[in-house]
Amino acid sequence: MLTDCTLAVHPNWQRRGIAQHLFAALFARLAEPTMAHVLRVELVARESNRHAVAMYERVGFRVNARLHGRIVTGMPLHLQSNSKAQEHPPPQQDSNPEPSTCDVASLRFESDIVMVWFNPAFDERALAAQFDAPATQSAKMRS
């Protein structure tokens, strides 16, 4: 079971069909008999990434769920805990600095969209064989 994989296309090369070709190659591989145990591929996209969501739908993904308000957007950089915050430290203040605060009313929340593609070549027997194989091998070794 593959639990996490990132597929990304450099911004300078986006919207040229590269991601569609990558997904086509992935789906072709999953259509092979040796991959018939794979039922589905899931991904998560930000709601605001409309171009990506539309492309995922074009290649066969369907919306499975929405995780409402999961992503905070509009937070000042110096309050974010990522590399951009380190690149842009908060401005220097006087010798008695106030703790960093953020006006909660100014925050925006965006949803994540969970999308799924089902493998048309899925075979339940192949899935069962994946789970039975280690047990069968260890039983043979004991006898």
Q: What is the band of 91 on the pLDDT scale with cuts at 50, 70, 90?
A: low
Q: State whether residue 71 is helix, strand or coil.
A: strand
Q: Does residue 5 surpass a pLDDT of 70?
A: yes
Question: Residue 9: CA atoms inside 13 Å, Cβ hemisphere, count?
Answer: 15
Spatial neighbors of 22 by CB under 8 A, at least 6 apart, are 7, 9
C-beta neighbour count of 18 within 10 angstroms: 13
Give the residue, 34 or 134, on which the prediction is more confident. 34
Average pLDDT, the chain: 80
Q: How far is it, in rounded angstroms, from Cα 43 to Cα 113? A: 8
> What mean pLDDT do residues 107-118 have?
91
Answer for the pair 55, 19: CB distance below 8 angstroms, yes or no.
Answer: yes
Q: Which stretch of DSSP H or E encloses residue 127? A: helix 124-142
Q: How far is it, in rounded angstroms, from Cα 128 to Cα 8? A: 32
Q: Does residue 71 surpass a pLDDT of 70?
A: yes
Could you tell me the CA-to-CA distances from 73 to 21, 34, 79, 99, 105 in Å, in that order? 31, 42, 11, 21, 12
Tell me what pLDDT residue 135 has: 54
